[in-house]
Amino acid sequence: MSAESKTSKISTEKSSNGAGKVVERGEAMTGAELLVACLEREGVEVMFAYPGGASMPIHQALSHSNKIRTILPRHEQGGGFAAEGYARVTGKVGVCMGTSGPGATNLVTSIADAFLDSTALLAISGQVPSTMIGRGAFQETDFFGMTLPVVKHSYLVTDPNDIPRVVKEAMYIAISGRPGPVVIDMPKDVQEAKVYPVFTEEIELRGYSPERSLDEETLAEVIDLLKNAKRPVIYAGGGIITSDAHKALLEFAQRAQIPVATTLMGIGGFPQSHELSLHWLGMHGTVYANNAVNEGDLLLALGVRFDDRVTGKVDEFAKHGTIVHIDIDNSELNKNKSVEFPILANIREALECMNGLLEARGYEEKTADYDFHPAWFKQIAEWKRDQPLKYTDTDEVIQPQYAIELLNELTDDDVIITTGVGQHQMWAAQYCQFDEPRNFFTSAGLGTMGYGYPAALGAKVAFPDRQVVDIDGDGSFLMNIQELATAKVEKIAAKALVLNNQHLGMVVQWEDLKYGGNRANTFLGDPSREYDPGHKKEELIYPDYVKMCESFGVTCERVLHKEDLRPAMERMLASDEPYVLDVMVPYTEHVLPMIPGGMTYKDVITEKEQEAGVNVPSAL
């Protein structure tokens, strides 16, 4: 009997226990079948799962499910990133699975990635039989123990009767409060054991209280601060998106007339086309965003964690003003930056409350009213005029920024963009425009190369009718290129725009700035071949992505000349199949502006400073 048919019979017997909870009792099934039935009950529709000896019973149960689509990645890490992409674009829990030992350890990077980027992820792993745990059995690892630092919670299931409770709790923990990854490690004997399931509709988690009550008096004090502020600014992070607070943020900014800078994770949380938008701040953010946040006299930090890529030298960050920090995670308050007003709250609820307070005090909602803070808006306008995002274009080569600008021109607001990690990641964030949340996502906290294309697969699975493009670098793309097979076989039409400079571009940039241009293992081509900096000799390009993609059955075009880029990109976007565009770009281009690690916004490097030959005496 399939897990699906068993699930349909579970509701045949309902009762109420002594505590008043409604419970359901089902017919006998294996632990693996019960796990699948529980995932179905929690609304899971997609799993990215790679089988092995310790997880085979679960895969057998999944093969009988009519509710869950099981997608076979070609590497567990790829499956984990795809689950992240699915979670980030939908706001639901992404689910991935691997077998014991190496299968489980291959999931660790994606779990850590989800942890740092607050992504709701359920990672399930098969485990050796209970009697063999701790004995060094074949393909045994302490997956429970090794993931403890990078999860919201971990479970090692030793009793099959616990499966309904564990799954329900795990899904709730992953998505509630500040989202994050949860691990369920399940021994093979637990998967094969027969059990009569008992389901409950309630959850009791002692010590876990993700719901936050609003302190309206403190929020009213924040509104009072606005009356005296002459240079207010909002610093908005990923919490705006995970809490669906983007509409409330827009209303708040328009009522209070406060400019908004987002983090990399917060891109799309505030419309970048809006007059109050400062784009995003940080190491490679706009000069005007960094200036405004650091020189404002009132900083409203919403759903952020004051990470080092934003703050630089933290003691010098935003030291000229009063800081209000609102976050749902108490551990983030006063962790990296001590602030005058640490407020524990759900960002959306806090903003909605403050919007009500503003309305009651006569603050009208306007797109932009420069009479609110005339001197401040004038200063910001000057910064925008004097230090825009810019690059030197040329017809001789394809500049990576130009390729991204062209992609932005040829796609509409509905496009979903993912990225790998490196220079292309920063350029994508700089030169694509996002006015809606959940249209751009990248590995921000962990900075994981290889993230982009698997994440694009997850997003495309969630929204098959939307255009999904991974903007990647050749180094990052190669790390999970095996997922082209997943795309082809599963008919997932995610595209990849590969900016191929034959180098680890971001590391090269640091070599140029800090080590006099000495190359230390940053060339990705074949050292036995003569390097062709102009990419005019195709036989010198290595590896050959066109041939590699052909072996996967995926179309790939290589573009060498600028005049060929637009028609090639149009063909890629028009395709209803997986597609790779291999665009050859120079490795000498640097991502600017740039604030060197551990330094301040005043140490920013722009084209002017780079031409003067700036030396960078800082750490990464």
Q: Which of 170, 200, 230 is the last residue of a domain?
A: 200
pLDDT digits (tens, 9 = 90+) for 549-568: 999 999 999 999 999 999 99
Q: What is the pLDDT of residue 5?
A: 42
Q: Is the dihedral of CA 550, 552, 553, 558 positive or negative?
A: negative
- CB contact burial 503-519 (16+ within 10 A = b; e otherwise): bbbbbbbbbbbbeeeee
pLDDT digits (tens, 9 = 90+) for 41-56: 999 999 999 999 999 9
Q: What pLDDT is recorded for position 22?
A: 58
Residue-level pLDDT at 531? 76
Per-residue confidence (pLDDT) for residue 616, from 0 to 100: 54
Same domain, 142 and 254: no
CATH of the domain at 483: 3.40.50.970
Query: Is residue 318 over pLDDT 60?
Result: yes
Of 578 and 529, more confident:
578
pLDDT of residue 251: 98
Any domain includes 27: yes
- The answer, yes or no, to whether residue 610 has pLDDT greater than 80, is no
* 8 has a pLDDT exceeding 50: no
Once rounded to an integer, what is the mean pLDDT over residues 337-359?
97
Distance CA 562, CA 26 (A): 64
Report how far apart the first and last C-alpha atoms of the chain are (Å, whole number): 57
Paired sense of beta strands 194-195 and 13-16, if any: unpaired
Phi, psi of 164 (to 5 degrees): -60, -45
Report the distance separating Cα 94 and Cα 266, nearest Å: 20
Strand partners, 317: none
Does residue 612 lie in a domain region? no
If you compute the radius of gyration of the chain from its CA atoms, what whole number of angstroms results?
25
* Residues 18 and 145 occupy one common structural domain: yes
Least confident of 203-217, 251-265, 606-620: 606-620
**Three-state secondary-structure class, residue 298:** strand
Name the pLDDT band for 612 (thresholds 50, 70, 90): low
CATH number at residue 281: 3.40.50.1220
Please name which of 466, 442, 446, 463 lies closest in space to residue 454, comparing C-alpha atoms. 442
Q: Which two tokens stand for residue 398?
A: 């394809």
pLDDT of residue 370: 79
Given this model, what pLDDT does residue 25 score? 80
Whether residue 366 sits in one domain with residue 476: no
Residue of 589, 173, 270, 70 lying closest to 278 (CA atoms)? 270
Regarding whether 349 and 279 lie in a shared domain, the answer is yes
Using the predicted structure, report yes or no on whether residue 620 has a pLDDT greater than 80.
no
Which residue, of 319, 353, 386, is where some domain finishes? 386
Residue 211 lies in a domain: no
Beta strands (DSSP E) in 520-617 are: 555-559, 579-584
CA 152/CA 126 separation, integer angstroms: 19
Query: Is 302 inside any structural domain?
Result: yes
Whole-model pTM over 0.75: yes
Residue bearing tokens 């030197």? 392
> Are 193 and 224 contained in the same domain?
no
User: Taking the C-alpha atoms of 338, 342, 344 and 345 in order, what is their torsion angle to the nearest 10 degrees?
Assistant: -120
Render pLDDT for 239-294 as a digit per residue (tens, 0 to 9): 999 999 999 999 999 999 999 999 999 999 999 999 999 999 999 999 999 999 99
**312: CB partners within 8 A, 6+ apart:** 283, 595, 597, 598, 599, 600, 601, 603
For position 343, what pLDDT does the model report?
97
DSSP 8-73: HHGGGEEEE-TT--EEEE---EEHHHHHHHHHHHTT--EEEE---TTTHHHHHHHTT-SS-EEE--
Angle of CA points 14, 161, 103, to nearest 5°: 130
pLDDT of the residue at 20 = 46
Amino acid 2: pLDDT: 42
Domain termination site, one of 150, 172, 200: 200
Confidence of residue 14 (pLDDT cuts 50, 70, 90): low
Asked if the structure places residue 393 within a domain, the reply is no
Structural domain boundaries, residue 104:
3-200
Q: Average model confidence (pLDDT) for the chain?
A: 93
Q: What is the model's pLDDT at position 139?
A: 87
Residues 6+ apart with CB under 8 A from 164: 34, 38, 197, 198, 199, 200
**Does pLDDT of 363 surpass 60?**
yes
pLDDT score for 614: 57
DSSP 3-state assignment of 378? Answer: helix
CA 97/CA 217 separation, integer angstroms = 46
Confidence of residue 57 (pLDDT cuts 50, 70, 90): very high
- 163 and 240 inside one domain: no
- Looking at the structure, do residues 191 and 88 belong to the same domain, yes or no? yes
How far is the C-alpha of 276 from the C-alpha of 254, rounded, in Å? 8
Reduce the DSSP state of residue 540 to 3 states and report it. helix
Task: State how far the Cα of 254 lies from the Cα of 249, in Å rounded to an integer.
Answer: 8
pLDDT at position 611: 64
Instruction: Say if residue 516 is in the same domain as residue 584.
Output: yes
Residues 268, 381 within the same domain: yes
What is the C-alpha separation between 216 and 53, in angstroms, rounded?
A: 55
Query: Does 618 reside within a domain?
Result: no
Quote the CA–CA distance of 262 and 266 in Å, as a whole number.
5
With respect to residue 600, please indicate whether it lies within any of the assigned structural domains: no
Residue 529 has a pLDDT of 82
Total number of domains in the chain: 3
Same domain, 252 and 280: yes
Confidence of residue 17 (pLDDT cuts 50, 70, 90): very low
Looking at this protein, which amino acid is placed at residue 105?
A: T
Q: Tell which phi-psi region holds residue 619, choosing left (phi > 0), alpha (psi between -120 and 50) or beta.
A: beta
Mean pLDDT of 379-401: 95
Q: Are strands 277-280 and 260-262 parallel, antiparallel or unpaired?
A: parallel
Positions marked catalytic = 76, 138-139, 188, 506
Check residue 619 and give its pLDDT.
46
Amino acid 615: pLDDT? 54
**In the prediction, which pLDDT does 536 show?**
76
**pLDDT at res. 427:** 98
The count of other CB atoms within 10 Å of the CB of residue 207 is 4
Is 340 in the same domain as 427?
no
Span 483-523, pLDDT tens digits:
999 999 999 999 999 999 999 999 999 999 999 999 999 99
Whether 584 and 465 map to the same domain: the answer is: yes
Cβ atoms < 10 Å from Cβ of 611: 8
In a domain, 619, yes or no: no
Poorest-confidence range of 92-106, 202-216, 591-605?
202-216
> Residue 4 pLDDT more than 50?
no
Report residue 132's pLDDT band, with 50, 70 and 90 as the boundaries.
confident
Provide DSSP, 480-507: TTTHHHHHHHTT---EEEEEE-SB-HHH
